[in-house]
Amino acid sequence: MPEEVMPKILRRLKSIEGHVRGVSRMVENGSYCIDIVNQTLAIERALEKVNHLVLDHHLHTCVSAAMKGRNTKERERVIQEIVQVFQAKGR
């Protein structure tokens, strides 16, 4: 992963990690349920942003290279990977 993308992803993941710890404290302290749900929804949105960054990088590198290449098995493989990601998202 290139140096311009990795720090962005790592920064977001560290922020999410702290956010999750904060929600754990909220649960331990008996915070209001809806406040906890709102925080977990914010964590989900933050994870979606991480997924977007990683997927964007993957599409512009690995998938792009496979589509331009001559190896049909590799093209099929990366297409199947993307399909599986979208299927998993739908579950």
Average pLDDT per 10 consecutive residues for the chain, totaling 91 residues: 86 98 98 98 97 94 94 96 91 79
CA distance 71 to 75: 6
pLDDT at position 48 is 96
Asked if residue 82 lies in contact with residue 63, where contact means CB atoms within 8 angstroms, the answer is yes
- Please state the separation of Cα 39 from the chain's center in Å: 17
pLDDT at position 90 is 82
* Cα Rg of the chain (Å, integer): 18
Asked if residue 41 lies in contact with residue 19, where contact means CB atoms within 8 angstroms, the answer is no
Identify the architecture of domain 6-90 in CATH.
Up-down Bundle (1.20)
3 state SS of 18 = helix
pLDDT at position 39 is 98
